[in-house]
Structure 1
């Protein structure tokens, strides 16, 4: 995302952080940290896939399917916490939104990114090629690619979606006023507005379930 801003993560002896130009906070753990997390994830997999192909892929890294707004994405596990690929998040979730995201959102909902391990990169490569037939991007993931916490993505995505639905709803309100003499256009705009309002309520319910949202009434 071009306009996202981010807060600076704390540095430790085993981690270093840098702010990317696109606004993601990139945190690079030491090789020892990544290896230790991968060993823990392998010992404690999130799920046991029944399909033979998925079971084979799980020997690389513990992983599972997660769903965000109806879209299934693969997520790897580190110490029982799920992470998704930054590239997949940008391609499949965030690319549909306009880039002018208010700083109120980007300051509050920072997405810290972490370097993939080699095993995690090949886990995503295998899932993308064999199971998803490259619909998650025609690229080869490497240890230079990055992960982001699932929870961070959910908080950011749903608040950005709510912001844009509110924008669309205001546009429909203008269209209704302008189309008051055209019965067909008026009926269409009113019907679309009702649908968007239902979608807004659904997003608010999801944010309530997640436990954090921003007051977007004036944005």
Structure 2
């Protein structure tokens, strides 16, 4: 597996790191080998992400996986602090929420953005193409793209989720009142309300672990 890397050990924002993504090829056994009688065909290893792949990408920028609400995202490190790509946060985490986020949240939980370096952009490109197969967006990251601190994302995301779970819970309460004469709908709404209340408690526990949260019960 051949990989072309930059000849300079130190990268500047004006330089562009190059990665030979065409080198990631899986070779299948020939038909003769597969069909040969009384022999077991031996397949070459499938081209899947490995620790070697992740280590290779780390030559561009220090990075690791972070998990937010069960979703794994790549994060690069700056001065021992982790940053994630704004585009990935919007696509994979925030897009499921309504856009009408109250000012109580946006004022308290700000996400300041920072420009990516060229090396960081190509780190995300490599992870997205080779490991995640463009699951993190069919786009090419450049030095014009932005990063946000992981901690800022966590605080914003969990508080927005808590807000929306409380909204849903109130809708279930209304549905329960309106379904008093329909036993099936009443049972369904009550069961869903119990589930969302468990989810609310789980989110509050996560916010408590992170160390700060808003009381959004009335929002």
Please classify the TM superposition score into its range, dividing by the shorter chain length.
0.7 to 0.9
Q: Does the C-alpha gap of structure 1 residues 210 and 200 become closer, same or farther in structure 2, counting only changes over 3 Å?
A: same
Q: Could you tell me which residue of structure 1 aligns to residue 60 of structure 2?
A: 60
Q: Does the C-alpha gap of structure 1 residues 47 and 22 become closer, same or farther in structure 2, counting only changes over 3 Å?
A: closer
Larger of the two Rg values belongs to structure: 2
Deviation per CA, 1:92-117, whole angstroms, max 9, x where unpaired?
A: 00000000000000000000000000
* TM-score in terms of structure 1 length: 0.78
Deviates more, 1:9-18 or 1:194-203: 9-18
- Structure 2 spans left out of the alignment, 5+ residues: none
Q: Distance in 2 between matches of 1:140 and 1:166?
A: 37
Deviation per CA, 1:117-174, whole angstroms, max 9, x where unpaired?
A: 0000000000000000000000000000000000000000000000000000000000
Q: Distance in 1 between matches of 2:32 and 2:106?
A: 31
Q: Does the C-alpha gap of structure 1 residues 213 and 26 become closer, same or farther in structure 2, counting only changes over 3 Å?
A: farther
Q: Distance in 1 between matches of 2:15 and 2:99?
A: 30
1:191 CA drift (Å): 0.3
Q: Distance in 2 between matches of 1:37 and 1:147?
A: 56
1:41 CA drift (Å): 45
* TM-score in terms of structure 2 length: 0.78
Q: Does the C-alpha gap of structure 1 residues 31 and 10 become closer, same or farther in structure 2, counting only changes over 3 Å?
A: farther
Q: Does the C-alpha gap of structure 1 residues 71 and 33 become closer, same or farther in structure 2, counting only changes over 3 Å?
A: farther
The runs of at least 4 consecutive aligned structure 1 residues that moved more than 4 Å come to: 1-50
1:211 CA drift (Å): 0.5
1:23 CA drift (Å): 40
- Structure 1 spans left out of the alignment, 5+ residues: none
Q: Distance in 2 between matches of 1:7 and 1:23?
A: 18
1:218 CA drift (Å): 1.7
Q: What secondary structure does 1:28 align onto? A: coil
Q: Does the C-alpha gap of structure 1 residues 205 and 167 become closer, same or farther in structure 2, counting only changes over 3 Å?
A: same
User: Could you say what the CA RMSD is over the residues aligned between the two structures, in angstroms?
Assistant: 15.5
Q: Distance in 1 between matches of 2:64 and 2:181?
A: 53
> Does 2:218 correspond to 1:218?
yes
Q: What secondary structure does 1:19 align onto? A: coil
Q: Distance in 2 between matches of 1:3 and 1:166?
A: 50
1:63 CA drift (Å): 0.1
Q: Distance in 1 between matches of 2:77 and 2:31?
A: 17
Q: Distance in 2 between matches of 1:9 and 1:111?
A: 32
Deviation per CA, 1:170-203, whole angstroms, max 9, x where unpaired?
A: 0000000000100000000000000000000000
Between structures 1 and 2, the one with greater strand share: 1
Q: What secondary structure does 1:67 align onto? A: strand
